[in-house]
Structure 1
């Protein structure tokens, strides 16, 4: 991983040069350390736009790996926590992938508007519905914001199950992202069919129905993962 000093220097470069250098560095790390297996890429073509990809979240390498793999079929905007732009190392990652910054755990109306507008204009979106990286590798409870985006843009949702990135770029035990180091790892990405949500029952409470839909969504991701990654969705 880049040192904080090197990251600060790179962030001072002109934008166009920064992006080219950052992509070269990122792809170099991925090519060197990751042995990637992808299944189900063809499923993307079977889903009409607007489309939202949803994936479990394990590592700061997740977005970089997915961006590289999906390029063949899609060039999605990633929904990223605004704090990523505040760290010199993770800020470089936000330059590599198209992204829309969002304030976590809040009704960020500006970000919501941007996401819905992007979807309606034909752009794909990728969201990590857990909202944060899993510290154990196992799935944690998803957040319902994804359902709002899908409903407002009338978007289809495609699940992705990713394993191995927790070993590719493990989370630092002390929370220092600058201390995270790339390791050789097998990474598997499984892309599923679009999610079929249950119909709302007559007189069913809105919140209960959303809970059912969210459970369907998260279990669609879990089914694409080895059992020990499924966490609360086993």
Structure 2
């Protein structure tokens, strides 16, 4: 109920300030689990994508967001974020296990295969967590390309700027293989990144994106 209320109040306001164009929304199933695998240009990616879809989309977020500022904590809970302790030595597997539970419950889970925001607008190599989830749960992967969010809230800024946002959603992808096989995980990840690239048209970077300690 809180999530729906948040969308009802926020969506018109956001669309007024940041006109958002969505193509391919019909590819998101009305029911059942699916992974929304997106490029990552700005922190606000996790705000715009859920607000343009009728179904709730779950993401992981730093556990500190749920225990600090009460406004932020309320927003995180209202938008269905999953708290993860990123300082834990098992943080990566904890994230995968939490995401797998969301999918097994028949929900939508949003993931950024690059692992962090692109520092320069290029599309970086995907990490294999997205493939692990797809192969372990059997959930379809829906590629997503965000556009313009890096101008709304560039890295290093805290005050949003006016601008247009575009969201392109591709057809669902299903995969065969084993989530315990490293070659299968790499193959599936690369296929997903190729699909995201086909939607976004971004220049490809040769390696992984540099980590950002403050990234969410």
TM range (shorter): 0.7 to 0.9
Uncovered stretches (5+) of structure 2, i.e. residues with no partner: 208-216
- Paired with 1:149 and 1:92, the residues of 2 have a C-alpha distance of 28
Tell me by how many angstroms 1:102 deviates: 2.9
Match of 2:57 in 1: 76
- Paired with 2:68 and 2:96, the residues of 1 have a C-alpha distance of 23
- TM-score by structure 1 length? 0.71
Secondary structure of the residue aligned to 2:161 is: coil
Paired residues for 1:149-160 under 5 Å? 149-160=133-144
Uncovered stretches (5+) of structure 1, i.e. residues with no partner: 1-15, 173-178
- Relative to total residues, which structure has the larger helix share, 1 or 2? 1
Instruction: Indicate yes or no: 2:21 matched with 1:43.
Output: no
State the number of aligned residues: 200
Conservation of the 8 A alpha-carbon contact between 1:84 and 1:91: yes
Paired residues for 1:123-202 under 5 Å? 123-172=107-156, 179-197=157-175
Distance 1:65 1:94, change over 3 A: same
- Paired with 1:137 and 1:185, the residues of 2 have a C-alpha distance of 16
Instruction: Indicate yes or no: 2:37 matched with 1:54.
Output: yes
Tell me by how many angstroms 1:120 deviates: 1.4
Secondary structure of the residue aligned to 1:185 is: coil
Match of 1:208 among 164, 178, 183: 183
Relative to structure 2, which stretch is displaced further, 138-147 or 102-111?
102-111
- TM-score by structure 2 length? 0.77
Structure having the higher Rg:
1
Tell me by how many angstroms 1:111 deviates: 4.0
Distance 1:127 1:185, change over 3 A: same
Distance 1:104 1:151, change over 3 A: farther
Tell me by how many angstroms 1:113 deviates: 3.2
